[in-house]
Amino acid sequence: MEGIEQVELTGPWKALEDAGWEPVLVAPDRGDVQAFEHLDRADRFPVDRTVADVAVEDFAGLVLPGGVANPDALRTDAAAVDLVRGFVQGGAPVAAICHAIWMLVEADAVRDRTLTSWPSLQTDVRNAGGTWVDQEVVTDGSLVTSRKPDDLPAFNAAMLDVLGAVG
């Protein structure tokens, strides 16, 4: 995969590790994922497991980093969308930031939910039956969403709160 906003991967990853969780990088294919700092290539990160090799039951929750290219490509991968849908339908904690909300839209997971995202996705959220609000973080049951990298402190705190309820 390519196009993950690096700080939206590394910020939550560090917050999870600091809280005693063991994050796992899951992607459609083996190898590495390419992160970006906005439009510039940044670091590469090794994939721990593929979507085909995991199940919802393997994890306490799911964190979806943003970046424009990554969620836009990922939402065309039926297995990845099914995995996200499984987390949401099972009531597992799901935290998504920025453009990662596209995965929730594709998984039909925003209907009758309140969430936030990068502002350009608000029409997508509304068209999918959700309520979009402009706040740094929104928690709706086990779903945590944020708008952008500047929201990471609030996003990480809310993500850890929701995970703590199951952990």
CA distances from 82 to 22, 40, 75, 76, 106 (A): 23, 30, 10, 11, 9
Task: Determine whether 38 is an active site residue.
Answer: no
Catalytic residue among 4, 16, 98, 103: 98
Question: If DSSP codes are grouped into helix, strand and coil, which group holds residue 93?
Answer: coil
- What CA–CA distances, in Å, run from 111 to 93, 131, 140? 17, 8, 12
Q: Report the distance separating Cα 21 and Cα 163, nearest Å.
A: 10
Q: Which value, in Å, is the radius of gyration of the alpha carbons in the chain?
A: 14
Report how far residue 62's alpha carbon sits from residue 138's, in angstroms, rounded to the nearest whole number: 16
Find the catalytic residue in 26, 36, 45, 99. 99
C-alpha distances out from residue 70 to 7, 74, 79, Å:
14, 6, 15
Q: Are strands 137-140 and 143-146 parallel, antiparallel or unpaired?
A: antiparallel
Residues acting as catalytic residues: 98-99
